[in-house]
Chain A
Amino acid sequence: MNDMTRQDPVDPPYRYPEYRSTVLRAPREPLVALPPNALDIPGPFVPKGFVRDGESDLTAQGRSAPLGEKMILAGRLLDADGRPVRRSLVEIWQANASGRYHHPADVHEAPLDPNFHGVGRALTDDEGWYRFVTVKPGAYPWKNHPFAWRPQHIHFSLLGSAPVQRLVTQMYFPGDPLLAIDPVYNSVPDAAARLRMISTLALETGIEGIALGYRFDIVLAGAKATPLGP
Chain B
Amino acid sequence: MAAQRTPSQTIGPFFHEGLRWKDAEKVAFAETGQAIVLTGRVLDGAGEPVGDAMIETWQLSPRGRAPAAAAGASRPHGFARVETAKDGSFRIETLLPGGPAPFLDVAIFARGLLKPLRTRAYLAREEMVRADPALAAIAASPRIKTLVALSAGDNAYRWDVRLQGDGETVFFAA
Contacts and interface: CB of A to CB of B under 8 A. Distances in A.
A34 B116 contact: no
Contacts, number: 228
Contacts of A196: 4-7
Interface in B2-54: 2-19, 44-46, 48, 50, 52
Contacts of B73: 47
B8 A167 contact: yes
Interface string B135-174: 1011000010000000000000000000111001111111
| Main secondary structure on B side of the interface with A | loop
Contacts of A22: 112-114
A176 B74 CA distance: 40
Contacts of A25: 44-45, 50, 110-113, 163-164
B72 A47 contact: yes
A33 B3 CA distance: 25
A3 B6 CA distance: 19
A218 B7 CA distance: 9
B62 interface: no
Contacts of A21: 10, 111-112
Interface size class on chain A is 35 or more
A43 B74 contact: no
A219 B3 CA distance: 7
A81 interface: yes
Given A44-B78, A81-B1, A24 B164 contact: yes
A192 B6 CA distance: 10
A14 B2 contact: no
A218 B48 CA distance: 35
Contact of B44 (A12, A24, A163): A24
A17 B163 CA distance: 16
Interface of B: 1-19, 44-46, 48, 50, 52, 56, 58, 60, 66-79, 105, 107, 109-118, 133-135, 137-138, 143, 163-165, 168-174
15 contacts: A19-B114, A27-B171, A42-B66, A44-B77, A47-B71, A50-B75, A50-B76, A78-B3, A103-B14, A166-B116, A168-B116, A170-B10, A184-B10, A185-B9, A218-B6
Interface of A: 1, 3, 10-14, 16, 19-29, 31-35, 38-39, 41-48, 50, 78-82, 91-93, 95, 101-103, 105-106, 117-119, 155, 157, 163-164, 166-170, 184-185, 187-188, 192-194, 196-197, 218-221, 228
